[in-house]
Structure 1
Amino acid sequence: MQLKQYQFFVAIIYTVVLFLDRLDLTIVNVTLPTVAHYFHVPLVTTDWITMAFLLALALSIPVSSWLGERFGLKRIYILAMALFGLGATLCFFAPNLEFLIACRWLQGIGGGLLIPVGLTMLYQIYDKAGYASITSWTFLPALIAPAVAPFLGGLILESLGWQYVFILSGPLALVLAIVAGIGLFKDEKQPFLSPFDWQGYGLCSLFLIILFLLLSELGRFGFTKLSLIELLGLISLFLLLIKSLQHKQNPLINLNYFKNKYFQLANGLQFCFQFCHFGAIFLINLYLQIGLGMSAKMAGFIMGVQAIGAMVISRYVVRLFALYGAKLPLTLGLLGVGISSPCILFIHSSVMLTFGSLLFFIRGIFSGLCGTPIQTLSVEGFKKNEINQINSIFNAGRQIAISLGVAISSILISLGIRLNNAQVSTIHFGQALKVFSLGFLAITLVAMLGVIIAQQIPETKH
């Protein structure tokens, strides 16, 4: 297989697994009320179907770099696909909620390894000059999948049943594992020198577990004494983790990487963008269904128009990045996301399809301006042999940002419901505006923070 063909092969594999991973972040949300009814459990308990997946992602990403170095990127990549596919497939056969949550955990472990390892393999076979171009193609699924997930999930739910939503990605991921095993080249022999930082990983894992528990508590019960204890515990663990990382010869997270200004800015910008992107998708889906009474299928169809906008702009953003650097597309993109997101509240009827579709198309264009510059900025100034660890740290930050975006949006919806004495089953449009306005305000504020951070990017052309 020639180099160009191999590059295309690796890019296709990575693009498909990224699409499946991002699809499964959001597609199951439409099934939660149905799953709760099927297993005869309260709706709030089904939160852990999503939380288990997100937590497993966050816990497995930090270890991905070490595993890739220790056992080889190809082996870990194939193992990750197999775990992801097996977990998704087993969800189909879940006899109870506990088994379903356990399968989602297994799927999340595989998903957490997939993206950083796959991206490292991709960057290893491309020159730095081609990073922006290949990123623009492979990043598209990260924008398209969450946009089409509600429609696809609603369609499958109404036509086949909730089990088929979970199994959608399973068999395909297992097939990809076989194809990757046959087609990927063997890893080059590299000396394995660094021992694993078990102390750092233990502190990091405990921090993430308590963070997710805190977010779950806040969403369900508001701020309580238990929440305060968890918050104090988080602060203490964070300080202990930083101290541990500073005194390790081979730390889990090399804090020296953050001395690179581009890496600092890329992480800050990523936090703002992912928070806004996934937080808004969560908000919009519920607003259209609960506030306006749209079906999951119709709400998903309108939201899916975002994907068209993202695809339209995907190649133009590479030109903007080459001509003007990262500052211009990121400023325009985050500013547009911040302004267009609350405009969704102007959709006040389930029949405003034309206006809604146009608004989501425009929002998709703005979102599409952000992904490629942020990802490319994250590896600026680093050597190729550092990319594996860089991607591991960067993807861990991405996952935390996604989780916080969804969780805080959920918390603000719950707060809006309590402040307005609203009942989800009987909510009307006037109440919906008040209930969801806090969440959309948060999206705008975080996007504006991203605009401010983008102004710190040095003026460079690529």
Structure 2
Amino acid sequence: MEYRKRVAAVYLLGFFVDLVNLFIGNVAFPDIALAFRCDVAALAWVSTAYILGLTVVIPLGNWLAAAYGGKRVFIASLLLFMAGSLGAGLAGSLAQLIAWRALQGLGGGLLIPLGQTMTYRLYQPAERPGLTALILLVGQLAPALSPAVGGLIVDSLGWRWVFFLNLPLAALPLLLACLWLRDERESLPVGRLDWAGLLLGSLALLAVLQGLSELAQPQTWLRGGVALLAGLGLAAAYVRHARRWPQPILRLELLREPLLRSAMLMYLLVPGVFMGVSLVAMLYLQQVLGLAAASAGMLMLPWSLGAFSAISLTGRLYRRRGPRPLLLAGVLAQALGFLLLWRVSAAAQMPQLAAAYLLMGLGGTLCSSASQSTAFLRVAPERMGEASALWNINRQVSFCLGMAALSMLLNLLLAWRGVVDPAQPAWREAATEVFHLCFLIAAAGMLLPLWLGGRIGNRTVLQLLRQP
């Protein structure tokens, strides 16, 4: 096997491990909520802490790879991820679980951007859309299998085992990375690490997510507003810092590239919102409609069928039609999936639920595959590491914001309707109304990416794809 295929294989396995860990936990949330007696806003931090850990460490990737070599950093990242997985499975409180999930994220945060950088550099720009299709195709195995497998694990062994499962999964890419990757270092010089930028960016993200979480609670809305404003202020401070620092942790001038910027916005507004709807839907299906965790997890199978169809369509149409028609079709399909969830009010409506997840898989993956195929078309090989860091931070932030925003919306609607105690006689009817309204608002939110998708530089993309 040629070296670039070995690097791609190690990258794809790391990608698979990250996605399994991201998707498998949702089916365990109701059991975790019962075990630790927490509400949905606190529960969202089980996922948010992991994604936050991922996001914080991503900007360090280029510097660490230059200083210590990509192979060493990739192996160390996997070992730290495995330690966090073990700790999460053994956690004795919600605070401990959140802390271990953050460590898990710090460990796993470099698997995708570092592997993506090493792999994409070995392929020519004209080959990258095909590579992207392969990456997305392999990546769909995780959301296809992990919720169903996770549901079976939760029902038979308990929620802790969804974290223990990460240990054997991560062992395979760890072994192959040791055997296959060359001990190479980045060509960029190792400068002084931008500690101030890292601190400002991390605190900005943490404050924004904390603010969104606390805005959802009537008793903490003022504190949440203060945290949100502080996060936006810290973000503005980072922008000023990055313009002055010679080697900032993230080079924001890359965002001046229209294709990269448009692709990142589409990912933020479509797959990111799906992650929030997925969290809300799992709570609705299990806590209100009474579906077992395994049955709820099985709904990701039609989602994956839609995703596989989207990847096939992207492979056939992207080079001929460009990203615009794929993006517009994807946004409309995801919106229709949300509207079908809005019409589900009983566990017996499995065909309608399957159709909703099929459409969400089709729509979200059309947008993610077309966006990722577009993002790096005009990025020079020597800037690929920096562009990959920006792309993957945006990917993780989109998941964080999606879950935080939908959790906030759900809690606000629950408080508005006075839905607190499941023992109340009309609790199920009131809760159903709240969840339905949440799905309807998410569907209406697809109007913005629909407008953005129609403005992407389709002619420019087609010209780039036709170049030798």
Relative to the length of structure 2, the TM-score reads 0.91
Match of 2:384 among 369, 372, 387: 387
Partners of 1:186 and 1:344 in 2: CA distance:
49
| Aligned counterpart, 1:294 | 291
| Aligned counterpart, 2:78 | 81
Q: What amino acid sits opposite 1:314 in the alignment?
A: I
Deviations 1:174-201 (A, max 9, x none): 3321221111123266252433222111
Q: CA deviation at 1:444?
A: 2.1
Q: What amino acid sits opposite 1:395 in the alignment?
A: N
Residue 370 (structure 2) pairs with residue 373 (structure 1): yes
Task: Give the direction of change, closer, same or farther, for the CA distance of 1:227–1:422 in structure 2 (3 Å limit).
Answer: same
Residue 4 (structure 2) pairs with residue 7 (structure 1): yes
Q: CA deviation at 1:31?
A: 2.7
| Aligned counterpart, 2:195 | 198
Partners of 1:52 and 1:167 in 2: CA distance:
18
Q: For 1:235-254, list aligned pairs within 5 A.
A: 235-254=232-251
- Give the stretch that moved more between structures: 364-373 or 25-34: 25-34
Q: CA deviation at 1:409?
A: 0.8
1:139 is paired with a residue whose SS is: helix
Task: Give the direction of change, closer, same or farther, for the CA distance of 1:132–1:429 in structure 2 (3 Å limit).
Answer: farther
| Aligned counterpart, 1:361 | 358
Percent of aligned pairs with the same amino acid: 28
Match of 1:410 among 385, 407, 418: 407
Match of 1:61 among 58, 61, 64: 58
Partners of 1:50 and 1:185 in 2: CA distance:
33
Q: For 1:34-433, list aligned pairs within 5 A.
A: 34-38=31-35, 41-43=37-39, 45-140=42-137, 142-146=139-143, 148-187=145-184, 190-221=187-218, 224-423=221-420, 425-426=422-423, 430-433=429-432
Partners of 1:222 and 1:333 in 2: CA distance:
38
Deviations 1:218-264 (A, max 9, x none): 23446622122212212321221111111111122212212211111
Q: What amino acid sits opposite 2:70 in the alignment?
A: L
Partners of 1:234 and 1:142 in 2: CA distance:
32
Q: CA deviation at 1:59?
A: 0.9
> In the alignment, is the contact (CA less than 8 A) between 1:136 and 1:371 conserved in 2?
no
Unaligned runs of 5+ in 1: none
Partners of 1:368 and 1:51 in 2: CA distance:
22
Partners of 1:13 and 1:152 in 2: CA distance:
23
| Aligned counterpart, 2:436 | 437
| Aligned counterpart, 1:446 | 445
> In the alignment, is the contact (CA less than 8 A) between 1:416 and 1:434 conserved in 2?
no
Partners of 1:270 and 1:33 in 2: CA distance:
27
Q: CA deviation at 1:317?
A: 0.8
Partners of 1:287 and 1:34 in 2: CA distance:
13
Unaligned runs of 5+ in 2: none
Partners of 2:232 and 2:87 in 1: CA distance:
37
Match of 1:26 among 10, 23, 26: 23
Q: CA deviation at 1:346?
A: 1.8
Partners of 1:297 and 1:191 in 2: CA distance:
48
Q: CA deviation at 1:333?
A: 0.6
> In the alignment, is the contact (CA less than 8 A) between 1:330 and 1:454 conserved in 2?
yes
> In the alignment, is the contact (CA less than 8 A) between 1:55 and 1:212 conserved in 2?
no
Partners of 1:221 and 1:369 in 2: CA distance:
38
Partners of 2:304 and 2:30 in 1: CA distance:
26
- Give the stretch that moved more between structures: 99-108 or 186-195: 186-195
Paired residues, number: 458
Deviations 1:136-166 (A, max 9, x none): 1212455553454433222101111222111
Q: CA deviation at 1:399?
A: 1.0
Q: CA deviation at 1:217?
A: 1.4
Q: What amino acid sits opposite 1:316 in the alignment?
A: L
1:162 is paired with a residue whose SS is: coil
Task: Give the direction of change, closer, same or farther, for the CA distance of 1:368–1:388 in structure 2 (3 Å limit).
Answer: same
> In the alignment, is the contact (CA less than 8 A) between 1:278 and 1:402 conserved in 2?
yes
Task: Give the direction of change, closer, same or farther, for the CA distance of 1:97–1:350 in structure 2 (3 Å limit).
Answer: closer
Q: What amino acid sits opposite 1:444 in the alignment?
A: A
Deviations 1:411-450 (A, max 9, x none): 1111121122224635666424421234323422332211
> In the alignment, is the contact (CA less than 8 A) between 1:11 and 1:122 conserved in 2?
yes
Q: CA deviation at 1:327?
A: 0.9
Q: Over aligned residue pairs, what C-alpha RMSD do you find?
A: 2.3
> In the alignment, is the contact (CA less than 8 A) between 1:348 and 1:429 conserved in 2?
no
Task: Give the direction of change, closer, same or farther, for the CA distance of 1:144–1:220 in structure 2 (3 Å limit).
Answer: farther
